Amino acid sequence: MDQIIVHGNGPLKGEIPIAGAKNACLTLMPATLLTDEPLTLTNAPRLSDIHTMTTLLQSLGAEVAALQDGQVLAMSSHDLTSHRAEYDIVRKMRASILVLGPMLARDGVAEVSLPGGCGIGARPVDLHLRALEAMGAQLDLRDGYVFAKAPQGGLKGATYEFPLVSVGATENALLAAVLARGTTVLKNVAREPEIVDLARCLRAMGAQLEGEGTSTITIQGVESLHGATYPVVTDRIELGTYMLAPAICGGEVECIGGRIELLSAFCEKLEEAGVTVEETARGIKVSHHNGRVKAVDVTTAPFPGFPTDLQAQFMALMCTAEGTSVLEETIFENRFMHAPELTRMGANIEVHGGHATVQGVDKLRGAPVMATDLRASVSLILAGMAAEGQTTVSRVYHLDRGYEHVVRKLRGVGAHIERVKEEQS
């Protein structure tokens, strides 16, 4: 098993290219199941989760080829051979549930294992299922699988209001509704850029819909979709992560491909902390040259609020800030599992339920730490870059799910970081 070794760092300088969004790409890939014509995605990230979704689609009979060093995904579902998404694949990643809506809409049947993924809370799929039931789906949960059938003649348009905002449930409902008969109105939907990206891709495939980016999306079902070539949107979570690197170490880094509109609430908090953020012709430039940042409070919220997927990384920054900050997690429970590991590095953190109080310290100390999930793993790397001495991060396989070439990108701006094989005792 690999480890990442980080040594305390001086100021950073240079540029980091930002990849296509993992969460957007994982949502766009199942759209191939809606048509028998080719769907090609460009600007695809090269991550283990993308490989998992590829394996899942191939198990259903779809053809998926990674071209141009994996940055182009050429897909075709002209001849599906199965409608069963097996547990052995689905358990690895929650996004696997997104094959349910497309298969049900296109062929009227689907059998999908209940998903797995990071251990950051229950994240039940009931919101997905209720939206599909509103369109007439008949659902049966048994033996760890969702057995779904559409009524005779296919799914029907419906009006459905989500009781809670859910990105995944919005995506599944949208994927199903584009082929449903009649008009579907989805209310209280997620507004994340990944939702907007999915809607734009579906429109490029011939879907008729409007309202993405607002709380209501209206879809007029069509008989069939056609193929398309579509670029995956920039990964706003990778963008925010690398924006934090010069904030925590000092220096100046330009994140190529970034746009402030993807992370406006996050950028506001960085500026409140004393970090300079400016949009350039090529992306976003972040700089900090004046010692410790100021402590600021953060509350996670659905888009356009502060992203839950940047909370762990921002906590790493607050560990060496001047003053006391309070981070409130409102999206997922169990998402402060990185706090004890940061404490091992000398951070002063108290967690009470969904709140973490961070008293900034002058300096963190390098220590052996263990990653608990994807975003926690990179928060420990950022902390290690700001710490005295060596930090060794174990269980970094989480990183491969969400960050491509993290060591290469950080070394490119001057970080002292390497990935090594763990020594066996």
Q: DSSP string covering 260-312, please?
A: GGGSHHHHHHHHHTT-EEEE-SSEEEEEE-SSSPBP--EEB-STTSB-GGGHH
Structure tokens that stand for 348 in this block:
């002063």
Structure tokens that stand for 308 in this block:
């839950």
3-state secondary structure of 341: helix
123 annotated as ligand-binding: yes
Tokens 């949208």 sit at which residue?
174
125 annotated as ligand-binding: yes
φ and ψ at residue 34, rounded to 5 degrees: -85, -10
175 annotated as ligand-binding: no
163 annotated as ligand-binding: no
- Is 249 among the residues known to form the active site? no
94 annotated as ligand-binding: yes
22 annotated as ligand-binding: yes
d(CA 103, CA 80): 10
188 annotated as ligand-binding: no
Phi-psi region of 160 (alpha: psi -120 to 50; beta: other; left: phi over 0): beta
- CB of 244 within 8 A of CB of 314? yes
142 annotated as ligand-binding: no
246 annotated as ligand-binding: no
Of 25, 118, 201, 319, the active-site residue reads 118
How far is residue 77 from each of residues 30, 68, 112, measured CA to CA in Å?
10, 21, 17
d(CA 369, CA 338): 9
Q: Angle at the Cα of 26 (from 18 to 88), degrees rounded to 5? A: 130
Q: DSSP string covering 110-154, please?
A: EEEEPP---SS----SHHHHHHHHHTT-EEEEETTEEEEEPPTT-
φ and ψ at residue 156, rounded to 5 degrees: -115, 145
130 annotated as ligand-binding: no
- CB of 178 within 8 A of CB of 202? yes
**Residues making up the binding site for phosphoenolpyruvate:** 22-23
Q: Which residue numbers are catalytic?
A: 118
**Residues making up the binding site for UDP-N-acetyl-alpha-D-glucosamine:** 94, 123-127, 309, 331
**Residues making up the binding site:** 22-23, 94, 123-127, 309, 331
